Amino acid sequence: MTDERTTAYFLNELSTREAQEFEEQCFAQPEWPQADLEAAEDALIEAYIKNELSRKRQRRFEKYYLTTAVRRERVLLAQSFHRLACPGMSAPPRELTLTEKIRNFLNPQSESQWVHAAKFAGVILAAALVVALVMFPPRTKAPQTFADINLATSSDTRGLGDARSSSSPVKVSLPLAKDALRIALTLPGPAPAGTTYRVQWEDIKGPVDELKIQKQDANSLTVIIPAEKLKPGQYLLRLSRKNPDGTEHATGNYFFDAK
């Protein structure tokens, strides 16, 4: 797995067969190369904001990478840091108009002062934007688009680190290209009135988060995982039932793979 191949994967330049081989190569490793994928993603973002991508790749980046609000905010933050850290490495200056050339010729010192003042103001504005993003991060917008999957409870009650059941888990293709993954969990059986549930999300390393139940009826319940939280790997959803008397016990396990 090379950085160039990873970049091609993010830009959707690989054929369907090549993309499948890339995912299988990652999936075959003992641990998913998350650090390598994130490093290649950071390098791709940096090349984009520095205008180092070809015109074709720039269009593919905007079409296939900037598909979620989180990714767009990540690129915006990287642009702000770049302008703050490298104020002299911005885009080449535009060609001056005839009026501007005459003004510079008649009053070059005044024009130079205005240029320096404008650059200084730009640096201050960029610094203020970075500080504001760090101290007051933008609110996460509610997902607008979803990739839907349905999961049935597994007979295997063990964790991801133990032997898996013989049934093949549902596979989710990454990158998701949607704002979130919406999962419908089929309940193992009817529950008494007043029963509530809790869903714990786990990966191969252990618990990740407790998922909020978005919708529930007599036969199923629905949870949502934001796209930016999904990394390649194996996942488990543990369902626990809370009885009206306050007791709680494990109800079922649901497996899926992201690749």
> Which pTM does this prediction carry?
0.47
CA dist 48 and 11 (Å) reads 12
On the question of pLDDT at 248 being above 60, the answer is yes
For range 226-233, the mean pLDDT: 90
What beta strand segments (E) does 99-162 contain? 146-151
From 190, 209, 211, 201, select the one nearest 234 (Cα to Cα).
201
Percent of the residues in the chain that have a pLDDT greater than 90, as a whole number: 16
pLDDT given at position 158:
62
CA dist 7 and 61 (Å) reads 10
Domains of the chain are 3-135 (no CATH), 146-258 (2.60.40.1220)
Dump pLDDT digits (tens) for 69-117.
878 888 888 888 877 766 555 444 445 555 555 555 555 554 455 555 5
